[in-house]
Amino acid sequence: MLDLANRLFEAPITHQNFIAGVFNGAADGGVIQRESPAHGRLVGTYPASTRADAEAAITAARDSFDAGHWAFEYGGERARVLRDVARLIRQNAEELALVETLETSKPLDAARGEVMFAAELWDYAAGAARMLSGDSHNTLGQSMLGLVLREPIGVVGIITPWNFPLLILSERLPFALAAGCSVVVKPSEFTSGTALMLARYLKQAGLPDGVCNIIAGTGDPVGQAIIDSNDVDMVAFTGSTRVGRATIAASAGNIKKLSLELGGKSPSLVFADCDLDAAVDGVIKAATINMGECCIAGSRLLVEARIAEAFQNRLAERLEDLRMGDPLDPASRIGAIINQAQYDRISELVRDGVREGADIVCGGDPENHSGLFYPPTVLANVTPDMCVAREEIFGPVLSVMSFKTADEAIRLANDSDFGLAAYVWTNDLSTALACSRRIRAGRVWVNSALQGFPELPLGGFKQSGNGRETGRYGVEEYTELKSVHLQVGRQSERWVEGA
């Protein structure tokens, strides 16, 4: 793997757009160069697509959908294509994982796991393509049969972020394709490599030209063109709540459907009766996975008061063993932050927390580390009104608060504009169920952290977004319902008398 990494450093991959089944650069020849955050070396070049490129991709998707070949294809044939893509992802897993590691700086083992889970999502969507169905009503009288048809919504724009490039795309794209939609994909301009590589597998698997188009570029003009277009029927956007609001406003132009997975400030609730060793490990995992650059990161620690001090001390001790360094090193669990702007934002929010009265238990000393490596940081004596308790930091920073009762813990957990995920650590079944039912979040993990399954839906409450991805719900998200009123036999009554 190191040999392959060195070859990529010496000869970075030049990626191309995929429009109407053809691979090309940007119309004006513009490019985006991507350096590895951990190594500071060029690792890939993407097209800097223009609005004209975006419009060409949208036109290709629109034409393919309106032609109806994929939209009304036998579900078994759609399943075959999706299964072949899953096979090709597995076949090329090492190269995909390496590109993700170099572009994002996530540890290589983590990237491998994400690539293999992405393949599972494509496999699951393949099965769902055969299962999608509508309904019938045989109780409308002798002369009327009612049919409910579930049809693909049309052209879907999928705009994905930089933190889990292939995984987040695979939580959406295969489900849209399973439903029969045509798609335009815009990956983040920081981590476009694996999305553009995926285009090759779609082509090899036999996906008809124009059904999926993948173009690299910045939010303006490419993302904006997708959101503005009257030929795009739905947009699935994953990113910040700020950009999500702008997407909602722009979608008013043609009342397009939106599926939004936005920001998070997820709580980890730790009760005194839990398995403390498991809870410490799980809290660290939820807070620091992917360098904390994770929308479902457990960045708020709510711990029962009688164990709060001991628990945060154990956290600090265990964090000393969490290796931060080169993501190509198998021992590393923490890589570099995605770019300088994000690194500076993390540093500023930690400084704001200290100014507001929080205490640093560990970490918070980036000046002792070179490059874009930010150390895992625990802030104690945090109050719910502080910025570190309310704003999404998107870095390996954990804010600690305490509670005395389960009701207080649930109230603190819900005291947020966000509602994407939550983590509960307790050995009391009643407590676990009460928290699971009363916390307003799209996903709740009990005595575990971040395990994912294609069968289960994901999505957010409140300002964390709307809509659901993955599972059977994820396929249904990309469909519309149509009622058919079918007259059986000759009508006995006429609207116009004597007819």
* The pLDDT of residue 499 is above 60: no
Task: Decide if 55 is catalytic.
Answer: no
d(CA 490, CA 183): 43
Domain annotation covers residue 497: no
Encoding tokens for residue 442? 């799209």
- Are 311 and 410 within one domain? yes
The catalytically annotated residue of 55, 103, 261, 477 is: 261
Query: Do 240 and 331 belong together in one domain?
Result: no
CATH number at residue 41: 3.40.605.10
Over pLDDT 70: what percentage of the chain? Answer: 99
The pLDDT confidence band at residue 4, using thresholds 50, 70 and 90, is low
* Residue 258 and residue 113 share a domain: yes
**In terms of domains, do 273 and 254 share one?**
no
Specify the pLDDT at position 446: 98
Is the model's pLDDT at 498 over the cut of 70? no
Tell whether 235 and 293 lie within a shared domain: no
Domain residue limits at 237: 2-262+464-483
pLDDT at 489: 84
Which three-class secondary structure state does DSSP give residue 389?
A: helix
Instruction: Identify the active-site residue in 181, 212, 274, 295.
Output: 295
What confidence score (pLDDT) does residue 496 get?
85
Q: Which helix (H) or strand (E) holds 446?
A: strand 443-446
What pLDDT score does 376 carry? Answer: 95
With beta carbons less than 8 A apart as the criterion, state whether 358 and 397 touch.
no
Helix H or strand E encompassing 70: none
Going by pLDDT thresholds of 50, 70 and 90, the confidence category of residue 5 is: confident
Percent of all residues in the chain with a pLDDT value above 90, rounded to a whole number:
91
Q: Is the pLDDT of residue 48 over 90?
A: yes
pLDDT at 182: 98
d(CA 132, CA 241): 31
The reported pTM is: 0.96
Indicate the length of the chain as a whole number: 499
Same domain, 227 and 279: no
The total number of structural domains in the chain stands at 2
What are the helix (H) ranges across 296-376?
Answer: 305-319, 340-355
Phi then psi dihedrals of residue 171, to 5 deg: -80, -10
181 catalytic, yes or no? no
Whole-number pLDDT of residue 268: 98
Q: Compute how many other C-beta atoms are within 10 angstroms of the C-beta atom of residue 209.
A: 16
Average pLDDT, integer, range 295-314 = 96
Same domain, 409 and 394: yes
Q: Inform me whether the pLDDT recorded for 494 exceeds 90.
A: no
For 288, the 3-state DSSP assignment is helix
- Distance between CA atoms of 61 and 54, rounded to whole angstroms? 11
Is residue 493 situated within a structural domain? Answer: no
CA 156 vs CA 234, 304, 471: distances in Å: 5, 45, 18
pLDDT, averaged across the chain: 95
- Residues 159 and 262: beta-carbon distance below 8 Å: no
125-179 pLDDT per residue, tens = 999 999 999 999 999 999 999 999 999 999 999 999 999 999 999 999 999 999 9
Q: Could you report the per-residue pLDDT of 257-276, keeping only the tens digit for each? A: 999 999 999 999 999 999 99
Residue 93 has pLDDT above 80, yes or no: yes
